[in-house]
């Protein structure tokens, strides 16, 4: 029984000094693999960059490229549920999020109208919905629009459109 | 000394001090904001992809000071390093931060870069390099990193075997709220390393009584109490050790070990009765836990010491059954892992979406392959290997999607070519016709403008005559020429009439000259506006014509090159994925073997003990109470 006691005690006392589950060779192997994984990540990121350029050129040429981003006003406590974007009456994107690209697409040069509808919950639990329409002009260069959202109890409440 | 060397292996704890990138001021660059948004979601590949592209574009533009990223450029440079770190790309992160450190930037920026570099070096087990980086920090240090920097410095000193320096730094950090618990515990360990055992015990006592509801701080407090209790236990101070173990939360990560240790403290103090309570609680817990398994033997051991041999025999019997079942579980786990199910379980979608996936994994149904591995999976080495495996799996999925997209791109290009190519010759012919007409009109406008310019220097009112007036003047000139050869009263009267009419027209042209000149300039301006619009339409047409061609011409080489790169990368990723998977499985099997061997040893002990206890119980029964 005394032997049993010693085995049990040694298990207890060694628990803090327990070596890493992987032995040294496995650790070395893991380290080598880790470096190779980092290298392949770098390669894939560089492919992603090239592919993005190709996609942008092929799918979103600058003369028709339009991107719409949504952000919340600084310090805003609004719990955003949904943002609905309509361009010239067409429903184009519905996503959840804070500072987020909600739309990337193509549109003809000229004057257009964007409609932004917001559904959210205020800090006091009440529902908050708001819809605004804004005109904008698409020129030859790529167009980025920033939609800034703020609740009703803020210095600048409502939906604001910024041209970037 | 034995005690010291044992505690050195515990190491210090690291507070979660990795800086979270955020937009300190108003966001001025939407694409940078989008990269941050991705990072906040934990999508570091996407965040890096976007930020790399944005930074490359910023450095390509002729006037970067006019680019909107200029307002965030310093933060963007650091964010790249942060994202790379979080995406476990330490080598690239280190290079990126070194570049900032070696660049011609202000000292506060260099200080922040040096701190970040030191953090990476420390994480990668390079404490000498980390100290060298920290020594490059001079002058003012930003308030937001001041405490974290000093905490890192203390950890570096500890890793370099300079506990006295670590103690000095950590003493100054005891009031730092963000390091509550961590600084206190590490000070205790540093004192222990420095050989100040009595002071170390007092410090761990303090660290073990810190009041906090923050889970990380509470976990460090538990750890402090475990270390303190074990130290006191080794010094045969069972009472105080007992108090330290009692402070460990019953639902925290150290609770099983604390219950086990409490029992042993009681047993060592020969109070077997009191040991029954914690061990009794412990055997009701998860049977795969090492402390629980040990308690299954410890509890009947206490009963046998209390001479309750019947109960001891019963519990040893139950332990024997339990160990048998656990061995079956371990065998099932090994079979499952060898069949590749462990790796399949790791890439389950619901696990990837959960930050506490290691904890949840154990509770998922149909995952026998994860029995006994929760502890292993929580270790740093294993976490790195697992995260790499998950990252490789993610890269594999992305590359497959990209590979498929090339066929779609080619299809798109083929359709565009089929649409535009037959149309373009006709469009071009029409365009050439319009182009020549436009050039003619432009020449006429140039001529008119030149004429008006000439009039300004040498006034010629007849040039501003209307078409009717010019016809009338011409007619009068012709009549005048015809009347030169005649004579007589009637002839004279006709000549006088011609002269009067010429005079009238000349009078009108001269008197109306200023108004006509003004009007002519106004008309020219209107014409210029029409020409400008014509030019715009012309340019738009040329661009549209170019865009039509560019929508299907010039992609072949890019697609071919990318397809090759993606194919090669996919091959490398698959090879690494297989190797990483094999390593994970081998480590898991090793761990299971270790646990299996321990269970077998327990089984042997239980088998012996159950027989011994029955024997003693029988003797006790036969002897009327005495074995």
Tell me the nearest-neighbour CA distance from A141 into chain B, angstroms: 12
pLDDT in tens, B473-484: 999 999 988 888
Best mutation site among B4, B12, B28, B37 for testing chain A: the one with the most A CBs within 10 Å? Answer: B37
Residue of A51, A63, A69 with shortest CB distance to B543: A63
DSSP state of B18: P
E-state strands within B296-423: none
Q: Tell me what the mean pLDDT of segment A74-80 comes to.
A: 72
Query: Which option is the CATH number for B1-174: 1.10.10.10, 3.30.930.10, 1.25.40.10, 1.20.1260.10?
Result: 1.25.40.10
| % of chain B at pLDDT higher than 90 | 39
Mean pLDDT of chain B: 85
Taking chain A, what is the end-to-end CA distance rounded to the nearest angstrom?
79
What is the chain B residue with the closest CA to A18? B9
Q: How far is CA B460 from CA B391, B457, B486, B506, B524, in A?
A: 83, 9, 32, 11, 17
Q: Say how many CA atoms lie within 13 Å of B500 toward its Cβ.
A: 6
* Subunit contact B587:A40, Cβ cutoff 8 A: no
Taking chain B, what is the end-to-end CA distance rounded to the nearest angstrom?
43
Which residues in chain A have their CB less than 8 angstroms from residue B580's CB?
A: 33, 37
Query: Under 8 Å CB-to-CB from B468, ≥6 apart: which residues?
Result: none
User: Which CATH architecture fits A61-163?
Assistant: Sandwich (2.60)
Best mutation site among B21, B385, B554, B627 for testing chain A: the one with the most A CBs within 10 Å? Answer: B385
In this predicted model, which residue has the larger pLDDT, A132 or A76? A132
Q: Tell me what the mean pLDDT of segment B520-543 comes to.
A: 85
E-state strands within B58-127: none
* Subunit contact B90:A29, Cβ cutoff 8 A: no
Residue B330 near residue B371, CB atoms below 8 Å: yes
- Which SS3 state, helix, strand or coil, does residue B142 take? coil
A145 strand-pairing partners: A68, A163
Helix A24-59 to helix B556-622 angle, to the nearest 10 degrees?
A: 140
pLDDT in tens, B257-279: 999 999 998 898 888 999 999 99
DSSP state of A118: E
Helix H segments across chain A? Answer: 2-14, 24-59
Q: Tell me what the mean pLDDT of segment B378-404 comes to.
A: 87
Tell me the nearest-neighbour CA distance from B227 into chain A, angstroms: 9
Tell me the nearest-neighbour CA distance from B405 into chain A, angstroms: 10
Residue of B27, B45, B384 with shortest CB distance to A34: B384
Query: Under 8 Å CB-to-CB from B309, ≥6 apart: which residues?
Result: B303, B613, B614, B616, B617, B620, B627
Is residue B214 over pLDDT 60? yes
A133 strand-pairing partners: A115
Which residues in chain B have their CB less than 8 angstroms from residue A5's CB?
A: 301
In this predicted model, which residue has the larger pLDDT, B551 or A40? A40
Tell me the nearest-neighbour CA distance from A20 into chain B, angstroms: 8
Which residues in chain B have their CB less than 8 angstroms from residue A9's CB?
A: 264
Q: Kindly state the helix (H) or strand (E) to which residue A137 belongs, with its residue range.
A: strand A127-138
Which residues in chain A have their CB less than 8 angstroms from residue B376's CB?
A: 21
Residue B438 near residue B534, CB atoms below 8 Å: yes
The whole-angstrom separation of Cα B359 and Cα B375 is: 10
Q: What is the pLDDT of residue A164?
A: 60
pLDDT in tens, B419-465: 899 998 988 898 888 888 888 888 888 888 888 888 888 888 888 89
* Subunit contact A33:B90, Cβ cutoff 8 A: no
Q: What is the pLDDT of residue B20?
A: 46
Could you tell me the sign of the dihedral formed by the alpha carbons of A70, A75, A81, A86, in that order?
A: negative
* Subunit contact B591:A50, Cβ cutoff 8 A: no
Tell me the nearest-neighbour CA distance from A39 into chain B, angstroms: 8
Residue A164 near residue A87, CB atoms below 8 Å: no
Structure tokens at B39: 């990072």
CB atoms within 10 A of CB A52: 14
Tell me the nearest-neighbour CA distance from B212 into chain A, angstroms: 24
Is residue B166 over pLDDT 90? yes
Per-domain boundaries in chain A: 27-59, 61-163
Query: Under 8 Å CB-to-CB from B291, ≥6 apart: which residues?
Result: B256, B257, B259, B260, B282
Q: What is the pLDDT of residue A19?
A: 40
Residue of B49, B572, B573 with shortest CB distance to A52: B49
Which of B210, B157, B209 has the alpha carbon at shortest distance from B179? B210
Structure tokens at B481: 């020429």
Is residue B302 over pLDDT 70? yes
Which residues in chain A have their CB less than 8 angstroms from residue B88's CB?
A: 34, 37-38
Structure tokens at B477: 């000139």
Q: Tell me what the mean pLDDT of segment B386-411 comes to.
A: 91
What is the DSSP code string of B599-610?
A: HHHHHHHHHHHH
Q: What is the pLDDT of residue B387?
A: 85
Per-domain boundaries in chain B: 1-174, 283-450+545-627, 451-544
The whole-angstrom separation of Cα B265 and Cα B232 is: 10
pLDDT band at B131 (very low <50, low <70, confident <90, very high): very high
Please report the ipTM that was assigned to this predicted complex. 0.70
A160 strand-pairing partners: A148
Q: What is the pLDDT of residue B371?
A: 65
């Amino acid at each position: 029984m005394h032997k049993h006691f010693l085995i049990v005690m040694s298990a207890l006392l060694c628990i803090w000094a327990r070596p890493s589950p992987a032995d040294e060779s496995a650790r070395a192997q893991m380290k080598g693999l880790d470096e190779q994984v980092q290298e392949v990540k770098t390669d894939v990121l560089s492919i992603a960059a090239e592919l993005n350029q190709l996609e942008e050129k092929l799918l979103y040429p600058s003369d028709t490229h339009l991107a719409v981003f949504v952000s919340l006003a600084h310090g805003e406590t609004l719990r955003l549920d949904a943002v609905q974007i309509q361009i010239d009456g067409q429903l184009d994107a519905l996503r959840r999020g804070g500072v987020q690209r909600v739309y990337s697409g193509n549109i003809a040069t000229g004057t257009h109208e964007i409609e932004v509808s917001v559904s959210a919950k205020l800090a006091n639990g009440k529902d908050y919905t708001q819809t605004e329409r804004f005109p904008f002009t698409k020129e030859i260069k790529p167009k980025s629009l920033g939609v800034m959202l703020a609740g009703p109890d803020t210095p600048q409440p409502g939906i604001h459109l910024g041209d970037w | 000394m034995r005690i010291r060397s044992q505690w050195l292996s515990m190491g210090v704890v690291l507070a979660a001090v990795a800086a979270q990138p955020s937009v300190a001021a108003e966001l001025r660059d939407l694409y940078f904001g989008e990269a941050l948004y991705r990072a906040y979601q934990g999508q570091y590949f996407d965040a890096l992809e976007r930020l790399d592209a944005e930074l490359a574009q910023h450095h390509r533009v002729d006037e970067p000071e006019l680019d909107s990223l200029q307002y965030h450029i310093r933060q963007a440079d650091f964010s790249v390093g942060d994202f790379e770190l979080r995406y476990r790309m330490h080598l690239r992160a280190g290079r990126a931060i070194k570049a900032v450190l070696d660049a011609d930037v202000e000292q506060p920026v260099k200080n922040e870069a040096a701190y970040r570099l030191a953090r990476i070096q420390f994480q990668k087990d390079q404490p000498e390099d980390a100290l060298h980086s920290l020594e490059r920090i001079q002058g003012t240090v930003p308030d937001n990193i001041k405490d974290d920097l000093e905490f890192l410095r203390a950890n570096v000193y500890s890793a370099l075997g300079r506990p006295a320096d670590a103690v000095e730094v950590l003493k100054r950090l005891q009031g730092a709220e963000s390091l509550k618990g961590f600084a206190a515990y590490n000070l205790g360990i540093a004192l222990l390393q420095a050989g100040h055992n009595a002071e170390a015990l007092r410090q761990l006592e303090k660290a073990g009584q810190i009041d906090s509801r923050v889970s990380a701080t509470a976990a460090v407090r538990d750890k402090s109490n475990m270390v303190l209790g074990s130290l006191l236990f080794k010094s045969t101070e069972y009472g105080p050790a007992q108090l330290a173990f009692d402070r460990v939360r019953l639902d925290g990560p150290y609770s099983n070990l604390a219950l086990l240790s409490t029992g042993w403290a009681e047993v060592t103090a020969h109070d077997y009765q009191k040991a029954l309570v914690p061990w009794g609680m412990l055997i009701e817990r998860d049977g795969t836990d090492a402390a629980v398994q040990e308690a299954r033997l410890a509890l009947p051991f206490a009963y046998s010491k209390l001479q309750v041999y019947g109960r001891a025999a019963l519990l040893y019997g139950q332990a024997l059954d339990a160990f048998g079942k656990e061995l079956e579980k371990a065998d099932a786990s090994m079979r499952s892992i060898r069949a590749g199910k462990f790796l399949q379980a790791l890439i389950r979608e619901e696990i990837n979406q959960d930050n506490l996936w290691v904890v949840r994994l154990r509770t998922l149904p149909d995952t026998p392959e994860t029995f006994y591995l929760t502890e292993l999976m929580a270790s740093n080495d294993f976490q790195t290997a697992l995260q790499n495996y998950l990252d490789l799996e993610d890269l594999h999925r992305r590359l497959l999607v990209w590979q498929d997209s090339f066929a779609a791109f080619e299809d798109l290009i083929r359709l565009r070519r089929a649409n535009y190519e037959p149309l373009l010759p006709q469009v071009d012919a029409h365009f050439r016709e319009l182009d020549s007409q436009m050039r003619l009109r432009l020449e006429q406008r140039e001529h008119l403008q030149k004429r008006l310019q000439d009039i300004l220097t040498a006034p010629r009112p007849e040039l501003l005559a209307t078409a009717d007036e010019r016809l009338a003047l011409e007619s009068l000139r012709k009549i005048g020429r015809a009347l030169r050869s005649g004579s007589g009263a009637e002839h004279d009267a006709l000549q006088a009439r011609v002269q009067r009419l010429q005079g009238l027209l000349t009078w009108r042209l001269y008197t109306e000259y200023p108004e006509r000149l003004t009007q002519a300039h106004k008309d020219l301006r209107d014409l210029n506006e029409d020409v400008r619009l014509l030019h715009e339409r012309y340019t738009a047409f040329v661009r549209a014509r170019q865009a039509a061609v560019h929508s299907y011409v010039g992609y072949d080489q890019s697609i071919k090159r990318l397809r090759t790169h993606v194919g090669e990368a996919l091959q490398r990723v698959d090879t690494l994925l297989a190797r990483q998977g094999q390593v994970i499985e081998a480590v898991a099997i090793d761990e299971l073997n270790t646990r299996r061997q321990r269970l077998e040893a327990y089984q042997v002990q239980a088998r012996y003990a159950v027989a011994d206890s029955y024997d003693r119980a029988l003797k006790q029964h036969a002897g009327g109470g005495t074995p």
